[in-house]
Amino acid sequence: MALRLSADSPHRRWAIALALYVGCGTVFAVVAGSPRLTEHTHFNHYALMANAWLHGRLDLPGGPPAYSQNNDFAEFAGKTYISFPPFPALLMLPFVKLAGSPENFQDGQFVIWLAGLGPALLFLVLEKLRRSEQARRSERENVMFALLFAFGTVYFFTAVEGTVWFAALVVGVALQAAYVLFSLGAERPALAGLTLACAYMTRPPMLLAAPLFALEALRVCTADAPADARGSREETWASRLSSMGRRIQRRELTRKYVAFAIPILAAFAVNSLLNHARYRNFSPFDPGHEYLTVAWRARMMKWGVLGYHYLSKNLGVMLTILPWVSAHARGPATLEAPFQVNEHGLALWFTTPLYFWLLHPRRTSALSAAVLVSALLPMAMDLLYQNSGWRQFGYRFSCDYAILLFVLLALGERPMGAWFKLAALWSVGWNLFGAVTFDKAAFDRFYFREPSQTVLYQPD
């Protein structure tokens, strides 16, 4: 066993990844508590979707169950649909079948046991970077990054919720981590395409991480220029691009791109057929959220589901919301909270100040540029979305690209010194607080909730 677990052996990497999966999943389960583990959630939309499929339907013939409070269901042509992208429901399908009904299936528990996959796969990604010498991080540092992702970001409170909105993010994180693993070096183009397609069928913004594979494939399929043929500083960009174009192994690059694209195109086709069957349109990018029976449906009909109209509000939520001191907190005897968190969520830098280390990397590379572009594109789509993420402890949509941000932290090679450790403690402390308190009746006093979603900052 000692030989099999020697440094850099695959057995050692997988053993550590398994330990991270079990350890993180156990912590998530303990923090989530008994109700999440023993009962179905009130917002088990994916289980309801799977159950409809098992009965040969796309709609819910009896409408939403009473316990769901008619929250986030789509109405079209007199029928009730679930507009969330379907891949998580596909994962739940066999378990709903075995349970006999959505109410007998503990969907929250299912999501919690999936939640350990993201940190474990992130560790494997970081180890692949270390072995290829693209990131000079130690194995210990990579373990720490995986743990900080699990417990020092908004992924922590997301992982323990289990309901439909958070389930999608948990599944999406695992798929994105697998996508990055398969994309590095463009070694597994078909699997990279498959995991990205499944991520798109879970969280559509994640599709915009495609440049990572595209640029990695281009890099590995471009032969190095001979030492005596490398251009001088005076060489123009046009001549450099022309020289690179002559070195591209076009057949191999085409093969990788085709293998990558086939699963994504298949996902487009499935989504198009699904949308046509429900809403009579063939768009692969329109899940039907504009048909949700929610109070802000009018704004979607006026401004669209995506648009510049939402950008300023979403930037405010992402970057500026802080806790505020409760006006009613007056000494230790009161039951009022000393501070409150607006349920639009705390600013991303406040919950995870580790991200400040992204602003000044010690080292950059073509790979870090590809990862950065692949993170910024989903971020931009989220910022143009009609919803800020409300209700949330922190900016939960950052889970759409958080794996990529942690890859950038590793690639940037800034030392994990005293200030980094202090930021890590802050991150874990606040996100532990969020995971323990958010959406728990006993801690409602710590949260400011205003259902119209129009109040972002502490009222005067």
Look at residue 330 in the predicted model and tell me its pLDDT.
Answer: 44
Cβ burial 368-390 (10 Å sphere, 16+ → b, else e): bebbbbbbebbbebbbbbbbbbb
Residue 86 has pLDDT above 50, yes or no: yes
Look at residue 335 in the predicted model and tell me its pLDDT.
Answer: 56
Average pLDDT of span 109-114 = 97
Length of the chain measured in residues: 460
Q: Among residues of the chain, what percentage have pLDDT more than 90? A: 79
Residue 225 has pLDDT above 70, yes or no: no
Look at residue 301 in the predicted model and tell me its pLDDT.
Answer: 86
Alpha carbon distances (Å) from 24 to 33, 143, 312, 330, 429: 14, 12, 35, 38, 16
Alpha carbon distances (Å) from 203 to 99, 157, 167, 206: 26, 18, 10, 6
Record the pTM. Answer: 0.93
Look at residue 285 in the predicted model and tell me its pLDDT.
Answer: 81
Average pLDDT of span 201-206 = 97
The mean pLDDT of the chain is 91
Look at residue 438 in the predicted model and tell me its pLDDT.
Answer: 96
Average pLDDT of span 451-455 = 85
- Short-list 44, 242, 8, CA closest to 142: 8
Choice among 18-22, 203-207, 238-242, 414-418 with the minimum mean pLDDT: 238-242
**45: which residues sit within 8 A by CB, 6+ positions away?**
68, 72, 73, 82, 84, 164
Look at residue 290 in the predicted model and tell me its pLDDT.
Answer: 85
Average pLDDT of span 311-318 = 96
Look at residue 298 in the predicted model and tell me its pLDDT.
Answer: 84
Q: Say how many Å lie between the first and final Cα of the chain, rounded.
A: 64
Choice among 123-127, 237-241, 389-393 with the minimum mean pLDDT: 237-241
Average pLDDT of span 86-113 = 97
Supply the DSSP string of 277-340, one letter for each residue: HHHS---TT--SGGGB-STTHHHHHHH-SB-GGGHHHHHHHHHT---EE-TT--STT--S-SEE
Q: Among residues of the chain, what percentage have pLDDT more than 70? A: 92
Look at residue 329 in the predicted model and tell me its pLDDT.
Answer: 47
Choice among 295-299, 321-325, 418-422 with the minimum mean pLDDT: 295-299
Look at residue 79 in the predicted model and tell me its pLDDT.
Answer: 94
Residue 334 has pLDDT above 50, yes or no: no
CA distance 425 to 431: 10
